[in-house]
Structure 1
Amino acid sequence: MKNKLSTTFSQGFQSGTFIRVGENRDLSLFVGKDEKGNYAFDFRGTYVPVRISQSDVITVQQGKSGENYILRFSLCNSELLEYFSTFCQDLLDSTEAIKDDEDAYKTLCSRYFSWKKLFRPNNGGMNDNEVMGLIGELLFMQDYMIPHYGVDMALDSWMGPEKTHKDYSTESVWYEIKAISAGKDSVKISSLEQLDGDDEGYLAIYCLEKMSPTFSGIKLNVLVQNLMAKMGTAQNRETFMSKLSMYEFDFSPEYDKFVFTNVGFSMYNVSNDFPRLCRKNIPNAINRIQYEIFLSELEEYKL
């Protein structure tokens, strides 16, 4: 999902050229290219600057021009322009109601510190299975949790990044999300507790087929970007980014090589007679269990 700034940046700029952006006429906000030819975001105003630590992907410059100070965020890796545009859009959205330069400066610095952990240089630390697992959880947030519960509750109930036993849990219902490769006839349950519980629960399974990098399919970075646009408030975006960072996620171009298409989705009611293992039926001496369930045996529980 492209934002307005993506279109603005795509028009191209000469080095050292900036244009004013945003609807807030009380603040002076600009986008363009710095003197090195890097895409950049500027805030110009009267405030007291503080020391800001650098990022390997987004550099920070502060200087003075006449009566005003300039705060500049520049993108060092042009491959990340689409995601830098989302960052800049967040800066605009977070300051749209602010009238004072000092307050705007503090807000922009705070937003930068939040985004900084998602802009690490080509980390790409997650493997295929981890990428698929995170895609499954984010697809479920996008396709089910937000439409059914709203953004606030969807975020609050997302427990997967915190390594709890259930991926989503509300006051009375839990959801366990699995992403499996196309053609697989079973789903792996990686711990005894994943499907255990007295409350109402559901097992949701995405069947993903890996495609070539040139295929126009599901990419982790794009999915994150699309969900970021749905967060609505700065607080929700902050919560979303914090939870993503628990996965060691970053906007690495490496993840754009992992492209999937969703070839099937199923959700099952994990009722009392659902084929699962429960702690109450397992000897206490057994510490950890992993097992697989044949999908063909779950038809009667499918919603």
Structure 2
Amino acid sequence: MSESSPWDDIAVPGADFNVRQVPGETAVPCFWGRDTTGACLFIVELQGDHTDQFRKNAVTVHGIEVDLRGGESGRQRLVLTLEKQVDRDLFEGLCLTLASALERATDSASSLAVALAHIRRWKTFLSGRSQHLSAEEVRGLFAELTFLLELIERQASTTAVVEAWLGPEKSHQDFIFGNTAVEIKSLSGTERSTVRISSEDQLESLNDELFLRIYRLSNLPDATGARSLNEIVGAVQTQLAEAEAVEAFDRKLVAHGYAPLPDYDGPRFVVSDVHSYRVGDGFPRLMRSQLPTGIDRVAYDIRLEAIAPYECDNEEAFGGN
């Protein structure tokens, strides 16, 4: 996260709280705030009495107090209070994306509904307290989600597609569906032509078909079709048709170490190249079943030129022939 935040220039008040309005076009005004303890607040100001709606849809989130408070002149305030400063980066991410989501609301009632649904969605990320992903991890997750989107186009059930994504669960391969296993790798646009295989299990499978699929990602923020990690996560979420798939996808993102933080609004990638390789007899690899006794936890690089004879049509990685 950036060292600065929306709360830095808000003084701690002697009573009640100090606020600064969030810029943007929303049906209801939103504010950054601080209370007398110095806690970071996010406030949504509502017209009318929404107590019944709030109680019916109340959500409890670890580390954040969610409260509906009375205000003057027939107003109420939805107040989010951060309990621990260590979680400020996640809280800022929640508030920024909430402010964006509220642009789609039309009045106070719909604004409260959007806010509570958004907080409920973020509950998964907050409970996982995700770590900050490295540049390499961002690229790796982006590549896996690119394949997941491609798989959604070819499968009837989005729940089945999310179930097939096993990378976050530390499976030997990133995707397994039917009798096909696919290991996903990413390369930066300027990276040397080798891929890192992180274990002796990645290129050995009990499935009938095993593929290595490599995405070359170029950071071209102004290019047509360029996406950030946050944007490709959002693209997947809009394609998930079943509630079960949405919940499972969010859980797997948390397991991967992801939360929708503003940091992941960049870099913005385009897929500049895709190659798929059928892994089988003769493919240069190390396998657990063939390692000498006592050798374990193997990682190694494969030169792409050495596996060129095993390249196949990209469609074959989706279970085609």
TM-score by length of 2: 0.66
Aligned-residue offset at 1:171: 3.3
Cα distance in 2 for partners of 1:171, 1:73 equals 47
Query: 1:12 maps to what in 2?
Result: 25
Query: 1:141 maps to what in 2?
Result: 148
Q: Which ranges in structure 1 are unaligned for 5 or more consecutive residues?
A: 1-8, 19-31, 97-103
Aligned-residue offset at 1:258: 2.2
Query: 1:242 maps to what in 2?
Result: 251
1:44, 1:71 within 8 Å by CA — same for their partners in 2? no
Query: 2:52 maps to what in 1?
Result: 46
Query: 1:132 maps to what in 2?
Result: 139
Match of 2:29 among 28, 33, 43: 33
Aligned-residue offset at 1:249: 0.9
2:173, 2:182 within 8 Å by CA — same for their partners in 1? yes
SS in 1 for 2:230: helix
CA RMSD of aligned residues (A): 4.1
Query: 2:290 maps to what in 1?
Result: 281
Flag the 1:247–1:35 CA change in 2: closer, same or farther, 3 A: closer
Cα distance in 2 for partners of 1:281, 1:84 equals 55
| 2:179 matches 1:172 | yes
- How do 1:95-174 residues align onto structure 2 when only pairs under 5 Å count? 112-118=119-125, 125-143=132-150, 145-150=151-156, 151-174=158-181
Q: Which ranges in structure 2 are unaligned for 5 or more consecutive residues?
A: 1-21, 34-41, 82-90, 314-321
SS in 2 for 1:125: coil
1:123, 1:252 within 8 Å by CA — same for their partners in 2? no
Query: 1:186 maps to what in 2?
Result: 194
Cα distance in 1 for partners of 2:288, 2:62 equals 49
Moved more, 166-175 or 75-84: 75-84
Aligned-residue offset at 1:129: 0.4
Cα distance in 1 for partners of 2:164, 2:77 equals 36
SS in 1 for 2:25: coil
Opposite residue 33 of structure 1, the aligned amino acid is P
SS in 2 for 1:266: strand
Aligned-residue offset at 1:218: 2.4
For residues 238-275 of structure 1, give each alpha carbon's deviation from its aligned partner in whole angstroms, at most 9, with x where no partner exists. 11111001122111111223232221011111122322
SS in 2 for 1:235: helix
Aligned-residue offset at 1:157: 0.8
Query: 2:67 maps to what in 1?
Result: 61
SS in 2 for 1:225: helix
Cα distance in 2 for partners of 1:152, 1:81 equals 29
Cα distance in 1 for partners of 2:102, 2:161 equals 22
Identity level (%): 24
Aligned-residue offset at 1:180: 1.1
SS in 2 for 1:118: helix
Aligned-residue offset at 1:146: 0.9
| 2:272 matches 1:266 | no
Cα distance in 2 for partners of 1:83, 1:298 equals 46
Flag the 1:210–1:71 CA change in 2: closer, same or farther, 3 A: same
